[in-house]
Structure 1
């Protein structure tokens, strides 16, 4: 078995670990901080929570020692392996305190209270860090393996036989696909249990593998959790995508007419895993399968349209013209699904950019939200793209505004013309619009951008030792 590779203080994941992340949707890993480090950290956490309450997004400045956790080689290596070396730590972070003997409900996290079409490719990930020994009885996070790509909950609420627990010694953490189904389990001991959640985003589609990559072709991991279903095509595509091979399976699995027709019927299956497999298999079957997926975008059942979009997202250039045509459709959901698939196509969808720029002025905020994000995923930073995204920073819809900031961050230095607009956005009423604007200035990195960012940070600087009990001295 391959050993982990340490590069620039980052302990990169192995091929087998990446495979497990693809199939299971999570990895349980561990840092090697001392017992004394975690004792100090827990003392600080208990004091803050007892005296001040949950610090929410101020978790890091309030407890600066946590920065050492985020800089640990196991954590930076895991995040680099899954999200690339320039991943972003999102402004939302949360310290979960659990002393309840009742288990929490199964759920997927929202996007800070907002909704969007969820990516199957790992554009987003979370770290759930446990700073104390967390046996089963203390209520670790429960994870349902292999459910990261299901919109529906395909298991019963009391079905815990396949549940994986993020339990272990202090310093254990779960690296999870952002969209996996999870919950808080019961803390039957009633002792304090902290779980520190941090969110991370990929800044660009992968061009080369970012883990300790040795194997060239997909195969299943040597060990895996018991999964609800098998998704060989989806897993292989994700493996290839992470290695920089977007749309590599397009047309590679030709099928006869009878099989294609059976898959078209399966696409309407009420059981999401089966329908999802049909969408991915049709995407790889050649022109006929892609044609049928394009037709399914207009299906009266919105669920079928959404599943078709996932298939079209890996179908390669063959699907691009049809997806561009769908941007003109009068049904909002069809436009959203088509734009999503174009974004996942990356540079292969470059000719869709003019139409997507037009979508930035669409009457539906949900269309504008999607177009705002996917323009940066395609990665064609033309003057018109930057100008359009900068204008979106003043959109009436807050989700459009904070996605515009994220997209400009992804475009980096090529978005330098947006700096004046980003400076205005630093005064937005929404915390995440301000945060994404600040991140965009950081990733743009010009002198003008850095000066603007420094001024903002000085004006908004926050003292981590100033509390109601200690307002001034020492």
Structure 2
């Protein structure tokens, strides 16, 4: 396999600000033509939902896209070279819709052709079935691959530049809409939280795109050779948020989050701007406060002001609030689709050490919403050490399953935990709790029978996999992943196989091989 072709420093900075980068996969045109032909034949026989996560074994040539140096290099530049491909990979079809009116780049839910799976409404993805947290630091990426030339009239994917840092899309602007023709073999690497949408296909031939999901596994794996932040020229994003971009860039390159950040000079005004409906004001406030030690108490007060409102309970899957699109743009809620923390929490997490004591104390608050936010902040990666992981370990025994779920995702993001936590996670992987057997549809539109218990186990498997990535995995960790192969979902064993591969012992590899051999 050829060495990955990493992004240039300018491309990596553009990704920080815009939330996406468009690259060519670098393979020959006949390869893309063969993939397109095979997808068309399969769709005629099975359709999207039948193919779904089985698209890779159904179209083996797609593996060449994942192995292409340009694709691997772009993803590794964003998520670190130890990234993993998630078991979710989904083919999106846009069937002909012969309306004659021009395609509006910013339209929300234009009519699609009958049988299209591509959603034309602006949305931020939730992790299929799993349901996870949103992060400003890069934890996951979508790779949208187009096997054939896709002109505007064929309906390429539309993107909202800069929206990966938004808690919701209520403040999206027309000028953010990125909508361009895509040559055959194009791959769009986008932060998982970037707003995007399908678009109508005005031709007489179906359009196919395959989405892959990549995940960071190594906590904070610094980008090598990255210099200081410099705002690129000609960004697609309309938000000028240099303090937010610089803080995230600092995290990417392993530097102090506060380096070069302008501290808040007007504390009350900056705190008030956290609730702004304008993304620029909100993001700049978060990161200026994160560089201001005196902001700990005001931020904690702002966070505590959201307690007692039942925000830890997931809204109805049919409601706008389920996808963070409720009428109040400042309101954050837990949902099985995606957990979005309070802005004050994001600032406290980026602040790091000065906020540690307050965050640990918050893990013992009576309100589950406070405990969720504290867990998220401790997992963000700006804080490490025994105190952090001891607090997260305690939350694994929380009586609220939603707190446990957020805590596990925090451990996925900050996986340098010890053996006691490994044992707790191993127990959770096997536990049966009737109160956790409630439906948890992360993506209701495509259907799922998953329960909260299954989401917990899914995150357990990823937490152990990420811990194995750091090296020196224990026999207990290997046993836990081996036992997870017997789980009654398809995703948990798939993640366990990834983890066993990273454990790397003969017995771990044998267990993964035997599982996969029976299912080839």
TM-score (norm 2): 0.81
CA separation of 1:330/1:190 partners in 2, compared to 1, >3 Å: closer, same or farther?
A: farther
Q: How far apart are the structure 2 equivalents of 1:347 and 1:416?
A: 27
- SS of the residue corresponding to residue 60 of structure 2 reads coil
Deviations 1:33-82 (CA, angstroms, capped at 9, x unpaired) = 22222222211111111123231111111111111111111101101111
- SS of the residue corresponding to residue 345 of structure 2 reads helix
Equivalences for 1:327-406 in 2 at 5 Å?
Answer: 327-346=363-382, 348-395=384-431, 396=436, 397-406=453-462
CA separation of 1:455/1:379 partners in 2, compared to 1, >3 Å: closer, same or farther?
A: same
Q: Number of residues paired by the alignment?
A: 445
CA RMSD of aligned residues (A): 2.1
Deviation for aligned residue 1:11: 1.1
Deviation for aligned residue 1:347: 5.0
Conserved? CA contact 1:317–1:348, under 8 Å: no
Q: How far apart are the structure 1 equivalents of 2:409 and 2:504?
A: 20
Say yes or no: does 1:238 pair with 2:232: no
Say yes or no: does 1:84 pair with 2:120: no
Report the counterpart of residue 490 of structure 2 in structure 1: 431
- SS of the residue corresponding to residue 393 of structure 1 reads helix
Report the counterpart of residue 478 of structure 2 in structure 1: 419
Deviations 1:350-390 (CA, angstroms, capped at 9, x unpaired) = 31222211211111111101212222433333110111111
Say yes or no: does 1:94 pair with 2:90: yes
Name which of structure 1's ranges 303-312 and 51-60 shifts more when overlaid on structure 2.
303-312
Report the counterpart of residue 222 of structure 1 in structure 2: 233
CA separation of 1:36/1:401 partners in 2, compared to 1, >3 Å: closer, same or farther?
A: same
- SS of the residue corresponding to residue 384 of structure 2 reads helix
CA separation of 1:434/1:331 partners in 2, compared to 1, >3 Å: closer, same or farther?
A: same
Say yes or no: does 1:189 pair with 2:228: no
Q: How far apart are the structure 2 equivalents of 1:146 and 1:378?
A: 25
Report the counterpart of residue 169 of structure 1 in structure 2: 183
Report the counterpart of residue 466 of structure 1 in structure 2: none
Name which of structure 1's ranges 269-278 and 41-50 shifts more when overlaid on structure 2.
269-278
Deviation for aligned residue 1:226: 4.2
Name which of structure 1's ranges 137-146 and 387-396 shifts more when overlaid on structure 2.
387-396
Deviation for aligned residue 1:448: 2.1
Conserved? CA contact 2:133–2:409, under 8 Å: no
Q: How far apart are the structure 2 equivalents of 1:47 and 1:207?
A: 41
Equivalences for 1:67-78 in 2 at 5 Å?
Answer: 67-78=63-74
Deviation for aligned residue 1:264: 1.8
Equivalences for 1:43-58 in 2 at 5 Å?
Answer: 43-54=37-48, 55-58=51-54
- SS of the residue corresponding to residue 311 of structure 1 reads helix
Q: How far apart are the structure 2 equivalents of 1:363 and 1:139?
A: 47
Conserved? CA contact 2:243–2:284, under 8 Å: yes
- SS of the residue corresponding to residue 176 of structure 2 reads coil
CA separation of 1:358/1:273 partners in 2, compared to 1, >3 Å: closer, same or farther?
A: same
From 300, 308, 326, the equivalent of 2:306 is 300
Report the counterpart of residue 453 of structure 1 in structure 2: 512
- SS of the residue corresponding to residue 381 of structure 2 reads helix
Conserved? CA contact 2:83–2:215, under 8 Å: yes
Deviation for aligned residue 1:433: 1.5
Conserved? CA contact 1:26–1:174, under 8 Å: yes
Q: How far apart are the structure 1 equivalents of 2:162 and 2:78?
A: 16
Say yes or no: does 1:263 pair with 2:273: no
Conserved? CA contact 2:139–2:413, under 8 Å: no
From 127, 146, 150, the equivalent of 2:162 is 146
Conserved? CA contact 2:17–2:237, under 8 Å: no
Unaligned runs of 5+ in 2: 98-110, 113-119, 312-330, 333-340, 437-452
Deviation for aligned residue 1:415: 4.2
CA separation of 1:182/1:100 partners in 2, compared to 1, >3 Å: closer, same or farther?
A: farther
- SS of the residue corresponding to residue 305 of structure 2 reads coil
Q: How far apart are the structure 1 equivalents of 2:84 and 2:423?
A: 23
Conserved? CA contact 2:171–2:277, under 8 Å: no
Report the counterpart of residue 116 of structure 1 in structure 2: 132
Say yes or no: does 1:9 pair with 2:25: no
Q: How far apart are the structure 2 equivalents of 1:311 and 1:399?
A: 27
Conserved? CA contact 1:349–1:378, under 8 Å: no
CA separation of 1:52/1:393 partners in 2, compared to 1, >3 Å: closer, same or farther?
A: same
Say yes or no: does 1:444 pair with 2:503: yes
TM-score (norm 1): 0.89
Say yes or no: does 1:290 pair with 2:296: yes
CA separation of 1:19/1:281 partners in 2, compared to 1, >3 Å: closer, same or farther?
A: same
Deviation for aligned residue 1:346: 4.7
Deviations 1:147-202 (CA, angstroms, capped at 9, x unpaired) = 0111221356xx65531125321001111000011000111113111101000001
Report the counterpart of residue 467 of structure 1 in structure 2: none
Unaligned runs of 5+ in 1: 1-6, 462-474
Q: How far apart are the structure 2 equivalents of 1:416 and 1:183?
A: 45
Conserved? CA contact 1:347–1:379, under 8 Å: no
CA separation of 1:32/1:250 partners in 2, compared to 1, >3 Å: closer, same or farther?
A: closer
